[in-house]
Amino acid sequence: MPPPPAAAPPGSDFAIDVTGVTKRFGSKTVVNAIDLRVRRGEIYGFLGPNGSGKTTFIRMLCGLLTPDAGTGTCLGYDVRTQQSDIKRHVGYMTQKFSYYEDLSIRENLDFIARLYDLPDRRAAVQRSLERLGLANRSHQLAGQLSGGWKQRLSLAACLIHSPQLLLLDEPTAGVDPKARREFWDEIHRLAAEGLTVLITTHYMDEAERCHRLAYLAYGKLLTHGTLDDVLASVRLTTWTVTGPDLLDLAKKIRSLPGIEQVVAFGTTLHVSGRDAAALEASLTSVRDPRHEWNKIRSGLEDVFISLMDSAKDNFA
């Protein structure tokens, strides 16, 4: 990857720096006063349940939607007025595959390269084909590719103009574990070269590979920070239990005070709640010598579900 253009736009250490960004569709507020700062060179994970407004937020960052309220900059350019400058320096990978299925890999890349008016187009296309291991498939039609290869093509296409910021909207949905891992290795290589990456995902293992995270629900930013910050932001207590008749136990404890989540993981049950004292009191009441109880560190998923549940109480 060639280094970012010398004429770096004015601005701070932040590739994304927005405050109060809001988007309404009709009477529905889909993105509600979000503040977000993403440092240059950072991999920023953007998480949230379906319909929480992740795609909408990203579209506002890259100039596809105009925010109803809020201000800020993306790569130093104003998100409301300098959309065409933003477009030139951002690589956006849409949630749905959005290249031409009736064009070959090379033709798709060539088309995108032309739209960005790249000075040495042929070389740029060849470089990106090689970098992502697409060179010997370059004549295959995009429509005939499997999910993993489509994803590589999309990544190659949104990198072709050497952007400074990558906005990746669920790039690994429907991709097998090995391909996902390779994809993430690639993302880390890019970040090491100075690229900023904002990436949405529903996979917790991927969330853990980000430098920082943000969690969104009902259009609101519920928490953000490093993995530890996020885990600490909700004081969740989680116990595991193993033993016989877990299904009965789950049914029994679900309605007890202080118990907010009861989730089965194979032969163990995870029981969590925000009020540690109430939770432990409830657990004592159902103690059975056949069961083995352990207190563990709450996982990201438990934290997110807890966040979503409390958000539902507040906003929905």
Interacting residues with another protein (CB under 8 A): 59, 62-66, 81-85, 87-88, 90, 92, 94, 96-103, 107, 111-112, 114-117, 141
DSSP result, 213-252 = EEEEETTEEEEEESHHHHHHHS--EEEEEESS-HHHHHHH
The minimum distance between CB 301 and another protein, in angstroms, equals 30
Closest CA to 276 of 222, 232, 238, 220: 238
Residues in a beta bridge with 224 = 214
Q: Mask of contacts with ligand ATP, 205-244, x by CB under 6 A?
A: ----------------------------------------
- If the CB atoms of residues 112 and 300 are measured against ligand ATP, the closer one turns out to be 300
How far apart (Å, rounded) are the C-alpha atoms in residues 219 and 227? 21
**Binds 90: which of another protein, Mg ion, ligand ATP, none (CB < 5-8 Å by kind):** another protein
How far apart (Å, rounded) are the C-alpha atoms in residues 297 and 276? 13
**Residue 55 touching Mg ion (CB under 5 A):** yes
- If the CB atoms of residues 52 and 108 are measured against ligand ATP, the closer one turns out to be 52
How are the residues of the chain apportioned to helix, strand and coil, as percentages rounded to the nearest 5?
A: 35, 30, 35
Report the site for ligand ATP in 79-98 (rule: CB under 6 A).
95
- If the CB atoms of residues 109 and 217 are measured against another protein, the closer one turns out to be 109
Classify residue 82 by its DSSP letter.
-
Q: Select the residue interacting with ligand ATP from 4, 45, 53, 258 (CB under 6 A).
A: 53
- If the CB atoms of residues 95 and 233 are measured against another protein, the closer one turns out to be 95
- If the CB atoms of residues 25 and 100 are measured against ligand ATP, the closer one turns out to be 25
The minimum distance between CB 12 and Mg ion, in angstroms, equals 28
Q: Select the residue interacting with ligand ATP from 32, 55, 94, 282 (CB under 6 A).
A: 55
DSSP result, 116-182 = TT-TTHHHHHHHHHHHTT-GGGTTSBGGGS-HHHHHHHHHHHHHTT--SEEEEESTTTT--HHHHHH
Binding site for ligand ATP (CB under 6 A): 25, 30, 48, 50-56, 95
